């Protein structure tokens, strides 16, 4: 799994958007501008989010993990965004109930099994006391990148 990229340019601090679509768009555009994903990625993530919601109510902060199919990806990467103000994402497995999300992990994987592995590792992080607070309280993209790379084994 070490071939997955998570660097400072993929960590967006205190971004703002009126809704989840604006947040997804900013993150997808960042990944596209850096060459990690194809132009089709943004639309595919938005379409998938409408069918398979990715919001997760955790003990400390709402989290979302938007992603899509592997054919929209050039190079495996993870984009992390800390939102200035929470935006609502529909809760995973729900029809309409939503959670205010503060942290978004956008996945761009080239292999199905890698996506599952990363999702499992992210779930472990989400359940760890204080892990999300480290992201919310971090003062730089580097510190979030270092923390996440250590936790994910990248």
Q: Which fold has domain 8-152?
A: Mannitol-specific EII; Chain A (3.40.930)
pLDDT band at 1 (very low <50, low <70, confident <90, very high): very low
Q: Is 71:37 a contact under the CB 8 Å cutoff?
A: no
Other Cβ atoms less than 10 A from the Cβ of 86: the count is 13
Instruction: Give the whole-angstrom CA distance, residue 50 versus residue 9.
Output: 27
pLDDT in tens, 6-50: 999 999 999 999 999 999 999 999 999 999 999 999 999 999 999
Given a cut of 70, whether residue 84 has pLDDT beyond it is yes
Domain ranges of the chain: 8-152
Three-class secondary structure of residue 76 per DSSP: coil
Query: In the sheet where 98-108 sits, what is the strand order?
Result: 11-15, 77-90, 98-108, 62-64, 55-57
pLDDT for 115: 80
| DSSP β-bridge partners for residue 91 | 55
The pLDDT of residue 2 is above 80: no
């Amino acid at each position: 799994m070490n071939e997955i990229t998570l660097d400072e340019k993929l960590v967006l601090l205190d971004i703002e958007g009126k809704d989840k679509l604006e947040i997804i768009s900013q993150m997808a555009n960042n990944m596209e501008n850096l060459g990690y994903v194809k132009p089709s990625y943004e639309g595919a993530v938005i379409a998938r989010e409408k069918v398979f919601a990715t919001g997760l109510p955790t003990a400390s902060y709402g989290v979302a993990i938007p992603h899509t199919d592997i054919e929209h990806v050039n190079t495996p990467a993870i984009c992390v965004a800390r939102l200035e103000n929470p935006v609502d994402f529909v809760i995973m497995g729900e029809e309409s109930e939503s959670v205010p999300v503060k942290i978004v992990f956008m996945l761009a994987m080239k292999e199905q099994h890698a996506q599952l592995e990363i999702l499992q590792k992210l779930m472990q992080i989400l359940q760890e006391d204080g892990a999300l607070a480290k992201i919310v309280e971090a003062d730089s993209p580097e510190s979030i990148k270092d923390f996440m790379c250590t936790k994910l084994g990248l």
